[in-house]
Amino acid sequence: MRNKEYSYDNSVHKMGRITLSLGFLASLLPPLMLWFIYRIFPPLDSLLKGIFNISFFMLPVSIVEVLTFAPILGAGAMYMSYLTGNVSNMKIPSAAIAMEAADVKSSTKEGEIVANLAIAGSIIATEIVLVIGVFLLLPLSDQLNNPLIRPAFEQILPALFGSIGAYYILKEWKLAVIPLTLAILLSIFVGSKYISVIIPVCVIASMFSARVLYKKKIVKPMDK
Amino acid sequence: MDITMREYLKVANGNIFYICGVVIALIVFLQALLFIRLSFKEGKKHGLSKQQMIKAVRTGATVSFIPAVSILISLIAMAPVLGIPFPWLRLSIIGSAPYELLAAGIGAKAMGVDNLGSEGFTREVFANSIWIMTLGSFWAVSIVVFFLKKYQKGYSKFTSDPGWKNILINAAFLGVFSVFIADPVTTGGLPLITLLAGAIFMTIFAILITRLKIKWLKEFALTFSMILAMVVAAVFSNLIL
């Protein structure tokens, strides 16, 4: 029996590693097509600057997230979740509700299997919704460039970050004070040309201020 | 008024990228089906009935329907600036809408452009955004591919303070978000109006969710307030013109 369980775990890791790597490689296809078919490639220094900036926070965030999610989700669920994203808002709730409905505990083998199945179901449902949506959207693709609405879509980043900013400030405003003040000061006095300096500085300052606030018990753990 | 489509968008809506989207969607389906098969086999050994297991798949699917619609709405919001196939294929894998927009924003900023799809958003800027969206997920994927197996064999060693881990993630994101919030604050104008509108709508939604206990709204709060803020931007830009 023990031997069999071990072989299940091994096949999960093997299958997961192959499919997840395959998915990432496939995600490289679109930018490669831009390069090889349309001959469009960004200036190398801008690309490297961008990679540095995104890595500067995605690397620590990814490490901590994997450490956090791995004990909650089983191995199979992890490989599926990392291929398709939306872990905390979709994958974990799906798994939790399915385990409750099936009356199994999360730390058992039964729980792990129910979680796998629920997450697979969640992925299939999401992809079907997206495919239907894209299909319905196709005839409208020219309308989306209507000059009346176009300025609105160019403001998608301020629209998103205004909403996200309010969300954080309502949840735990004390965490936002240092990074926000610093970012505004840097934006005025340094300018967004030096983005490769500004992002790392703000991320470090934000994490440092969070550490101090947490140690002094000024902020409490959040629920999400 | 100039109605011509921005040049990069003709490229962004190219057929080849729909094909890439199909390839990616097939890999996603394939993985889910392979894991369903493996889990059914293993579940039988542990005494789970077929009905129980089908029910688990169904529960996962039904629970995800509403969040999936919310993802679809954000896809529609992204389509005018990034085309249809790119948001589709990016949202099919790895990232969520906020991550993708953040990464696209970093790619554009690295080339000195603040607004996605604006005047200076050339084909090269677009390409940089796409590369950053794609490569930004490299870390998460490789950590899972290379270290998950080892980690799950002995994670009792790492059971450090979960409350702090949660705050650390939020703080790291907040650091980057601040940079993108600071921009409209210092430039003012339409971006600032849009930013403030987003903040006001989110606050209204938060009040509706907590005071009136409208639970389903939670899934949509971010997407809705983003779109309402863009509506405000449309109204203002057309009034000023």
Q: What pLDDT does residue A73 have?
A: 81
Q: With cut-offs at 50, 70 and 90, classify the pLDDT of residue B73.
A: confident
Helices and strands counted in chain B (H then E): 10, 0
Q: What is the pLDDT of residues A57-99, one digit of tens each?
A: 889 888 888 887 787 788 899 999 999 988 877 888 788 888 8
Show Cβ contacts of residue B226 under 8 Å, excluding neighbours closer than 6 positions: A156, A159, A160, A163, B74, B77, B198
Q: What pLDDT does residue A223 have?
A: 52
Say whether B63 and A98 touch across the interface (CB within 8 A).
yes
- Chain A CB within 8 Å of residue B190 CB: yes
CA separation, residue B77 to residues B52, B81, B164, B190, B224 (Å): 38, 8, 34, 18, 10
Give the range among A147-151, A162-166, B21-25, B167-171 with minimum mean pLDDT.
A147-151
Q: How far apart are CA B63 and CA A93, in angstroms?
A: 8
Show Cβ contacts of residue A212 under 8 Å, excluding neighbours closer than 6 positions: none
Determine the 3-state secondary structure of B33 from DSSP: helix
Report which DSSP code applies to B93. S
Residues 118-157 of B with CB under 8 A from A: 118, 123-128, 130-132, 134-141, 143-145, 147-149, 151-152, 155
Contact indicator for A157, B108 with CB cutoff of 8 Å:
no
Determine the 3-state secondary structure of A19 from DSSP: helix
Longest C-alpha distance within chain B, in Å? 69
**Beta strands in A85-178, from DSSP E residues, in sequence order:** none
Query: How many Cβ contacts (< 8 angstroms) between chains A and B?
Result: 562
Residues 37-76 of B with CB under 8 A from A: 38-40, 42-43, 45-48, 52-53, 55-65, 67-69, 71-72, 75-76
Across the interface, of B89, B103, B173, the residue whose CB is closest to A30 is: B89
Say whether B2 and A134 touch across the interface (CB within 8 A).
no
Most confident of A167-171, A205-209, B73-77: A205-209
Q: For chain A, give every domain's residue range.
A: 2-41+72-141, 145-215
Q: What is the pLDDT of residues A130-159, one digit of tens each?
A: 999 998 888 877 776 677 777 788 888 899
Give the range among A4-8, A148-152, B87-91, B224-228 with minimum mean pLDDT.
A4-8
Contact indicator for B141, A27 with CB cutoff of 8 Å:
no
CA-wise closest residue to A171 among B210, B135, B22: B210
Nearest CA in chain A to B126: A42
CA separation, residue B151 to residues A6, A159, B111, B121 (Å): 16, 39, 38, 42
Across the interface, of B62, B80, B90, the residue whose CB is closest to A144 is: B80
Nearest CA in chain A to B16: A33
> How many residues make up chain B in this entry?
241
Q: What is the pLDDT of residues B162-176, one digit of tens each?
A: 677 778 878 887 888
